[in-house]
Amino acid sequence: MTFRTSRRLLAPVIAGAVAGAVAAAGLILPNRIRQADAGPDESRARNVILINGDGMAAAQREAARLHLVGLDGQLTMDELPVSGQLTTSPNDPKTPVTDSAAAATAWATGERTYNGAISVDVDGNPLPTLGARAKAAGRATGLVTTAQVTDASPAAFFANTANRSAQDEIARQYLEVTRPDVILGGGEDWWLPAGVAGAYPDRPAEDRAEASRGTKGDLITEAKARGYQYVSTADQLQAAKGGRLLGLFANEELFQPRREGAGGRYDPPASLATMTAKALSALSTNSKGFFLLIEEEGIDGFAHVNDGAGMLQALGELDRAVAVARDYAATHPDTLVVVTGDHECGGLTIEDTGTADESGDGPFPIKGSSLTFTLDWTTSGHTGVDVPVTAYGPLAERFTGKHPNTHVHDVLARILTR
């Protein structure tokens, strides 16, 4: 294995970035929570914010803590007062290790299925999704991701397909079937027919394989006809007013993972925290409450190529988005916030720098210390280890202990489907 030695990642100043994202979206949020109410009163539960660090397990969270806030610090996601553990196994005859589609289906439907499935059972039959059920109950719904908006994790909450690769069909179902009120992320290529470039040109220099490839017609034009404001830049996002909102900020993902020396970068045109703040502003006008899925895909994307620097940068962005959601919940005590990962990626461990057994990825500085640490990878794929879950708000206490990943569905459905 070739290990990266890049030091290009700078630890973000989380508080300042959160304040900027919140101000840009027009929200006024309080100071950090020190004492959180995680009481059991279901009657006051109205909103759900589910935050997915794709590919994030305990080692990823700890590496981010050391690098971003130091030995005595805590990430915002780890300050949430209730914590537990989730298993991640799919129901797949070929493997005990999940992909994002099966994992998100377990969250969205309460049923485990095969890898690649988007909210269908092992026989390919469609399953009711939390996104659709929340909409039927009168709630606003939304998704925010640094992946394609039609990628596996958001798709499982708002679509049904036998194969996660049918992203243009997933986009069509968003518009014509489940109708999320807010859709923000990447993946413009799936919303336009082949040969019809949109705001982002076909075959850009950073990835010549990216180009419009949809087979369902011009879905951006259809979205506008169905009442969505369409935005493709951060400035347009900031200026958007109320109502349904579709924002596509890249051909594919909002980042470019690459192996060492191949020019990978994490520089989203619209940050996850900014998109989160805007989504909360839009969804919170619904008197019956809302469901919002937030996903940082870059953790998984950079872990797949064993790039610790890019992964840590994505983790920092995730924690900034968690801070926006947590601060919203501080002034809206009817809001449940849940932060977890769909699976682990990379078989990651944290080692002392200079360990004699083998070299690793790094070293990376520990904030506020002269010490450093090294990241060591055992695979470029997913693993089957458990993932941590932390939560704040009504019903948060139900995440205490160890549960199957379908437990996420069971808790969220108590709020969203009544």
The pLDDT of residue 297 is 97
CA nearest 219: which of 200, 237, 246?
246
The identity of residue 237, as a single letter, is L
Q: Would you call 89 a catalytic residue per the annotation? A: no
Q: Which residues of 370-395 are buried (b: 16+ CB within 10 A; e: fewer)?
A: eeebbbbbebeebbeebbbbbbbbbb
Give the DSSP per-residue string, 253-280: -SSB---TTS--B---SS-HHHHHHHHH
Rounded distance, CA 117 to CA 292, Å?
A: 21
Quick one: which H or E segment has residue 402?
strand 401-403
pTM of the model: 0.90
The pLDDT of residue 13 is 38
Judge contact between 84 and 402, C-beta under 8 A: yes
* Catalytic-role residue among 89, 100, 119, 153: 100
Rounded distance, CA 266 to CA 407, Å?
A: 32
What tokens were used for 194? 């082949």
The pLDDT of residue 239 is 95
Q: What is the pLDDT along the chain (418 residues), one digit of tens a residue?
A: 333 333 333 333 344 444 455 444 444 444 444 334 444 556 678 999 999 999 999 999 999 999 999 999 999 999 999 999 999 999 999 999 999 999 999 999 999 999 999 999 999 999 999 999 999 999 999 999 999 999 999 999 999 999 999 999 999 999 999 999 999 999 999 999 988 888 888 888 778 888 889 999 999 999 999 999 999 999 999 999 889 999 999 999 999 887 654 557 888 999 999 999 999 999 999 999 999 999 999 999 999 999 999 999 999 999 999 999 999 999 999 999 999 999 999 999 999 987 666 667 889 999 999 999 999 999 999 999 999 999 999 999 999 999 999 999 999 999 999 8
Burial of 286 (0-12, 13-18, 19+ CB in 10 A): middle
For the chain, the structural domain boundaries read 14-28+46-416
The pLDDT of residue 248 is 98
The pLDDT of residue 42 is 62
List phi, psi (to 5°) of 383. Answer: -125, 170
What tokens were used for 277? 């703040």
Domain 14-28+46-416 = CATH 3.40.50.2000: no
